[in-house]
Chain A
Amino acid sequence: AQSVAQPEDQVNVAEGNPLTVKCTYSVSGNPYLFWYVQYPNRGLQFLLKYITGDNLVKGSYGFEAEFNKSQTSFHLKKPSALVSDSALYFCAVRDMKYGGSQGKLFFGKGTKLSVKP
């Protein structure tokens, strides 16, 4: 069965410090992995994705994520956090075993990132 775990409900960092938001996944086949961000009273916005190729994926707003197959992880990172990065972050996975017409994503419960000045 497909699933995504975000072990931290909240991550607190000081502005300028590096940040990491953790995500692990479970799928039957190869994964497509995604990170989305949600600002208050807004819909989810796509940040980055891993499909294949380089394990380090770069996305919007200076975010990057590293795919680690052996650890089934896809942690989101940023070298220097900004107060404006404060938001809710969601990891999601699509199981490529169910390719073709299967477009379903499985989302984690979300991690609230708080960046203090």
Chain B
Amino acid sequence: DAGVIQSPRHEVTEMGQEVTLRCKPISGHDYLFWYRQTMMRGLELLIYFNNNVPIDDSGMPEDRFSAKMPNASFSTLKIQPSEPRDSAVYFCASSLLGAGKNIQYFGAGTRLSVL
């Protein structure tokens, strides 16, 4: 398996623009997580899905952020409009719940710079 695949790896945009981050989880995994990592705040869970349904979005910073999972193999995290304080590395992770599982597998991340 290729692991969790995120695109793009790097994104540079201007304030006010829409940004879309993409994630392909590991095939067969039933959980998908979006995290944000910054030096100041560390690793923050933004939202997670179970079987394509959002379970907990309490970490989404504000209405400018939205996430979707239209099917088991694809998810997006959208920021509209983007602001400089959104600059961070965004990680997607997937896991399979059940006895002996529970391990989250992370993608390589998308480094977002909002100018």
- Per-residue interface assignment for chain A, residues 11 to 52, with 1 indicating a CB less than 8 Å from any chain B CB and 0 otherwise: 000000000000000000000101010000111111001010
Is chain B's interface secondary structure helix, strand, loop, or mixed overall?
Answer: strand
Interface size class of B (residues with CB under 8 A): 20 to 34
Q: Are A46 and B97 in contact (CB under 8 A)?
A: no
Known: A90-B43, A94-B102. A103 touches B107 (CB 8 A): no
A104 touches B48 (CB 8 A): yes
> Contact: B43 with A49, CB < 8 Å?
no
Are the C-beta atoms of B102 and A103 separated by less than 8 Å? yes
Contacts of B45 in A (CB 8 A): 104-105, 107
- Considering only CB atoms, which chain A residue lies closest to B31 in the complex? A103
What residues of chain B lie closer than 8 Å to A108, measured between beta carbons? 42
Q: What separation, in Å, do the CA atoms of A104 and B95 have in the docked complex?
A: 10
Residues of A within 8 A of B105 (CB): 46
Q: Mark B92-115, 1 if CB is under 8 A from A, else 0.
A: 010101001011111111000000
Bound-state CA distance A42–B105 (Å) is 12
Q: Is A70 an interface residue (CB 8 A)?
A: no
Decide if B87 is an interface residue (CB 8 Å cutoff). Answer: no
B103 A46 Cβ-Cβ under 8 A: yes
In the complex, chain B residues whose CB is within 8 Å of the CB of A51: 100, 102
Which residues from chain A contact B56 at a C-beta distance below 8 Å?
104
B4 touches A32 (CB 8 A): no
CA distance A101 to B49 in the complex (A): 10
Does B13 have its Cβ within 8 Å of any Cβ on chain A? no
B55, B95, B100: the one contacting A101 at CB < 8 Å is B55
Q: Closest CB of chain A to B33's CB: distance in Å? A: 8
Given contacts A43-B4, A44-B104, A103-B102, 7 further A-B contacts (CB under 8 A): A42-B108, A43-B93, A49-B103, A94-B102, A103-B31, A109-B42, A110-B43
Q: List the interface of chain A (C-beta within 8 A of B).
A: 32, 34, 36, 41-46, 49, 51, 90, 94, 101-105, 107-110
17 A-B pairs (CB sep. < 8 Å): A34-B102, A43-B106, A43-B108, A44-B43, A44-B91, A46-B105, A49-B102, A51-B100, A103-B31, A103-B33, A103-B95, A103-B102, A104-B45, A104-B56, A107-B43, A110-B42, A110-B43
